[in-house]
Structures are given as C-alpha cells and as structure tokens.
Chains A and B, each alone.
Chain A
Amino acid sequence: KAGVTQTPRYLIKTRGQQVTLSCSPISGHRSVSWYQQTPGQGLQFLFEYFSETQRNKGNFPGRFSGRQFSNSRSEMNVSTLELGDSALYLCASSLIPQGTGANVLTFGAGSRLTVL
C-alpha cells in the first residue's frame, strides 16, 4: 500500500511569504503528526491531528498552523516566513493517536523548505 505522501518535496520562499505543505497519510490512518527537523534542534513536534481535531500542539508560534480534512489528509501552513523556518518538515501518520498503545509513526519523505 502507498506510504505517507508529502508535497511539495522542495520549495524555496522569501522572508515574509507564506507556505502550505500537504500530507496524505497511509490509507486508514487517522492520526497525522507534523515535525520540524533542523540540524541543531533535531525533530521538534509541531502538532497532531486525529479525526479532523488538533489533539496536541508543540511550542511553536501562532504562525504555524494546520488542519486535517475528512479524508485524513492534512495541511500545515507557515505565515510570515522567517529565515529560521528553513527546515525539513516531516509528516507522520498512524492508525491511532500518539500515546495510545503501540503507536507507531510512519514518516513521509518530508518537505524541505528554504527561506531566503
């Protein structure tokens, strides 16, 4: 079966712009989590959505937002981009919410954002 699909894979933006990233989870998976990965900070949790509801949110400013659709596809948006937003954004899906039993995340290939 198809894995987690993230689009676009690469994108370049300039400061002040906004960006929308998309994630299609594995079929049947209802939980989608987003992470930001940078060399210095590692994988930082952004938020998790389950059945169209945001369950948890990490310590990121309000410029970072997301949503989940009825088909479990998720999008995240970053507004007013800053240089420090340059990172690999990873989406991961799972059958059940984080923290529930044997919750195994399957990651997508990521969207690499460069802010100039």
Chain B
Amino acid sequence: QKEVEQNSGPLSVPEGAIASLNCTYSDRGSQSFFWYRQYSGKSPELIMFIYSNGDKEDGRFTAQLNKASQYVSLLIRDSQPSDSATYLCAVIRGLTGGGNKLTFGTGTQLKVEL
C-alpha cells in the first residue's frame, strides 16, 4: 500500500463545475495535510493545508479532512481553465527512526474544459 494514494486521472470537468480531488493515506498518525498545484513544466506551489477534521475554505478551494477514514480531498468550485494542472496531496508522517517527513502522492491531473 502506498503511503499517499491519488487517482492519476486525468479528471476532466467543464468550466464552472466543481472539481473534486481525492487522496487517501496509510499512516493513521499523520497530522498535517497539504495540497500543492503543479503546472506542466513548473514546480509545485502550495494551495492550502489542513490539520483538523472537517472543512477548510479558501476562496474557491475547500479542503476536507476525515482522519477516521484517512481521507483528504480538495474541492475547486467554479473551475476555470487556469485550474488545469496536476494536484499533489502531501502528508506529514513520522519516520521509524524519529523525525518527520513530507510524503507526496503521485498527483491527479485536472483538465478544465471550455
């Protein structure tokens, strides 16, 4: 089982629709969860992070966390063509020898169609 799993997509949604991106993680002790966006040929950039169960909203973006189900999602309302990118889910997990590290999923490619 991968530490952080995402459907690779592509996920295609029409302009103006809600895009729903999902991520599951294996380490029940994970505490912090991040969503990064990566445009083709560019480096990842942070969209938002979430620590607590429930929803966190930032503009058109809403992150949802369910620690019991080990599930985190990102909703993008009113999707725009400029949202077309790969979305990376990242989770902070502890290491066997101590310390923590940020582990990324392989990303979901989102295509917003006109």
Residues of A within 8 A of B (CB): 33, 35, 41-43, 45, 48, 55-56, 58, 90, 97-100, 102-110
Contacts and interface: CB of A to CB of B under 8 A. Distances in A.
Contacts of B46: 104-106
Contacts of B101: 45, 48, 56, 58, 98-99
Interface SS of B by simple majority: strand
B72 interface: no
Interface of A is mostly: loop
Interface residues of B, number: 21
Contacts of B43: 90, 107-110
A42 B36 CA distance: 13
B57 interface: no
Given A103-B92, A107-B44, A42 B106 contact: yes
6 contacts: A45-B101, A58-B101, A90-B43, A98-B99, A99-B94, A102-B49
B35 to A, nearest CB: 12
Contacts of A42: 88, 104-107
A115 B106 CA distance: 23
